[in-house]
Amino acid sequence: MTLDIWLFAAVCLFILTFCAVLRVIPGPTLHDRLIATNIAATLACAGALALTISAGDLIILVLAGLLACIVFATTIRISQVQRRETP
Amino acid sequence: MYRLCDYNTDLPGTTEGNAMIELAVDAILYILLLAAIGFGWISVIGLLLFPDIRSRAFTGIRAGIIAMTLVTASAICYGLFTWTTNGGMQYMVLVFAAALMLVIVVALNRVAADAICRNAVPAPSHSGEPKDRS
C-alpha cells in the first residue's frame, strides 16, 4: 500500500482547518472570530493546494483562491465597518 | 503526447498513486509537507491557547503563512521536477498558480491582520514613565 503524501497532507490540513473553524464559533469577541477565520482560510488554501496535486485537477486551486479572496475581503470589510461603528 | 492544461487534465502519476519520483525529490516533498502539517498544528494551537488577540494573531497567522509557504514550495518542487522529466505545460501552470496563490494569501493575510489588530485594542504605549532603576 502506497501512502499518498499529498492526500495525507490535504486531509491533515483540512482537519486543522476544521479545528480553526470550531474556534470561530465560540470566539469571545468579533476580532477573535476574524483572526480564526483568517487562519482557517489560510490552512484551507494549503490543503486545497495539496488536494490539487493529489486529485490532479487544477480547478480546485482556482476555486480555493477565489474563495480565499472573498473570505479575506469580507474579513477586512467587517473589521472596517466595526471600527467605523465604534465610538 | 501532452495536452495543454484545460482544468480537466490529470497530472500523470496521481491517478494510480504510483508516481515514479526520484528518491531525493520524494524525501524533500515528504519533509516539506510534514513540516507544513507541523506548522499548521502550531497555528491552531496558538489560536486555541494564547490569551490575547495580538499573540494569537501573531502566532496563528505567521505559522499559517509558513505552512502555506511550505506546501507551495513542495508543489513547486514537484511541478518543476515532473516538468523536467515528463514535460507538459500543466506543470508550469501548476507552479505559477501555486506561486500566485501564495502571494495573494500572504498579502491579504497581512492586510487583514493589520486591520483587525489595529481595530481590536490600541497598541501598548512604549513612551510611558521610565522605570526606576534605583
* pLDDT tens readout for residues A26-69: 777 888 888 999 999 999 999 999 999 998 888 999 999 999 99
Tell me how close the Cα of B126 comes to any Cα of chain A, in angstroms: 23
Q: How many CB atoms lie within 10 A of CB B68?
A: 29
Residue B104 lies in a domain: yes
- Domain region containing B41: 23-119
* pLDDT tens readout for residues B42-100: 999 988 888 788 888 888 889 999 999 999 999 999 999 888 888 888 889 999 999 99
Q: Which residue among B7, B29, B48 places its CB closest to the CB of A58?
A: B7
Which residue in chain A is spatially nearest to B44 when comparing CA positions?
A20
Residue B6 lies in a domain: no
> What pLDDT is stored for residue B124 in this prediction?
55
Residue B28 lies in a domain: yes
CA atoms of A71 and B77, how far apart (whole Å):
28
Average pLDDT over residues B107-134: 67
Residue B38 lies in a domain: yes
> What pLDDT is stored for residue B1 in this prediction?
35
Instruction: Provide the residue ranges of all domains of chain A, joining segments of one domain with +.
Output: 5-85
Please answer yes or no on whether A42 and B18 come within 8 Å at the CB atom.
no
Write the ipTM.
0.88
Q: In chain B, what's the furthest Cα-to-Cα distance?
A: 80
**For A71, which DSSP code?**
H
> What pLDDT is stored for residue A41 in this prediction?
93
Residue B67 lies in a domain: yes
Q: With contacts defined as CB-CB under 8 Å, which chain B residues touch A50?
A: 33, 71, 75
Closest CA to A38 of B101, B106, B54, B28: B106
Cell of B12: 500523470
Q: What is the dihedral of CA B109, B111, B113, B116, to 10 degrees?
A: -140
For testing the chain A interface, which of B68, B77, B91, B118 should be mutated: the one with the most A CBs within 10 Å? B68
Contact indicator for B61, A39 with CB cutoff of 8 Å? yes
Cell of B99: 506561486
Number of domains in chain B: 1
Hey, which bits of B16-112 come out as E strands?
Answer: none
Please answer yes or no on whether A72 and B111 come within 8 Å at the CB atom.
yes
Please answer yes or no on whether B71 and A13 come within 8 Å at the CB atom.
yes
Average pLDDT over residues A70-81: 87
> What pLDDT is stored for residue A63 in this prediction?
92
- Number of CB pairs < 8 Å for A and B? 168
